[in-house]
Amino acid sequence: MRLRKRFAIGILGAMAACTAPAPGDPSEDLSIAPRDFVLLPCGPARSDQPCALVAAGGKRVLFGAPAGVAASLSEADLRQLDSVVLFSLRAKDIEGVDEIRNESWRAGRATPLLTIGPRGVLVLVDGLNTAFEQADALRIVEEGIPAGGYDAAILTGREAGRGEIVFDTGDVRVTRISGGYRIAYEDQATVDLLPCGETRADAATAEATNVQISVSCDGSEQELAWPLSAPHFVVRQASAE
């Protein structure tokens, strides 16, 4: 953090001659109410690249970070992103983490972005923050400080052990399960996201935890399969009359 501050101080003079870029045209988003729970498609349209942007309880959590993921998200979703959850640390599953870090910051994300993943994710996070430290400062010289501020570029990390709750807002809870993640929204719905090549070893708990939907590569026994091709509302708030 001290190094980031030194970079910031060193470019203050140059910033005086720079102006922030004009905001882009607003993205055409779905009408998603704060209490809705919806799975949104993201990333490349390939069955072996699981990717879902989950909007629930007013939060945005991205599951999966394949290459090209940032370009598939609206500016509003990037700006509102609360966390990124990685299925693994294989190259194909993390190639888009740097895109998400940089483009969500550019879009105006206001806080450090929590990055959740298996053991080793803290090394990934520290490496990316170090790699982009000077580039962050140079970007400010060229484009001005994004709306979220200088230190919002930072990634923070959290390791996800099996059975651990890794994201919890009180109404939205994400738990690491064998082979993937379980998302529970209030007492209304639970969804399992399983990456390709993985099966849910703790399937016996699915009925007990009210799992309505599982998403995997094998759609034969699942309601949804990767890649998601359209938004899927798990819970939708009734429209006011």
Interval 108-131: pLDDT, tens: 999 999 999 999 999 999 999 999
Please give the average per-residue pLDDT across 39-45, as a whole number: 94
Interval 228-239: pLDDT, tens: 999 999 999 876
* pLDDT at residue number 171: 95
* pLDDT confidence bin for 152, thresholds 50/70/90: very high
By the 8 A CB rule, do 178 and 216 touch? no
* pLDDT at residue number 107: 95
Residue with token string 């629930």: 56
Domains (ranges, CATH) in the chain?
A: 2-12+33-231 (3.60.15.10)
Interval 167-195: pLDDT, tens: 999 999 999 998 899 999 998 899 999 99
Is pLDDT above 70 for 209? no
Q: How many other CB atoms sit within 10 Å of the CB of residue 26?
A: 9
CB proximity list for 118: less than 8 A, separation 6 or greater:
86, 88, 89, 159, 160
The one-character DSSP state at 238 is P
Phi, psi of 70 (to 5 degrees): -60, -35
By the 8 A CB rule, do 113 and 61 touch? no
The token pair that represents 124 in the structure block? 């990934």
Q: How many other CB atoms sit within 10 Å of the CB of residue 104?
A: 26
The token pair that represents 192 in the structure block? 């399992």
* pLDDT at residue number 223: 76
Interval 48-90: pLDDT, tens: 889 999 999 999 999 999 999 999 999 999 999 999 999 999 9
* pLDDT confidence bin for 196, thresholds 50/70/90: confident
- Residue type present at position 238: A
Distance separating alpha carbons of residues 77 and 106, to the nearest angstrom: 12
CB proximity list for 133: less than 8 A, separation 6 or greater:
3, 4, 7
Is pLDDT above 70 for 100? yes
Q: What is the pTM of this model?
A: 0.84
Q: Using N-to-C axis directions, what is the helix angle for 97-107 and 121-131, rounded to 10°?
A: 60
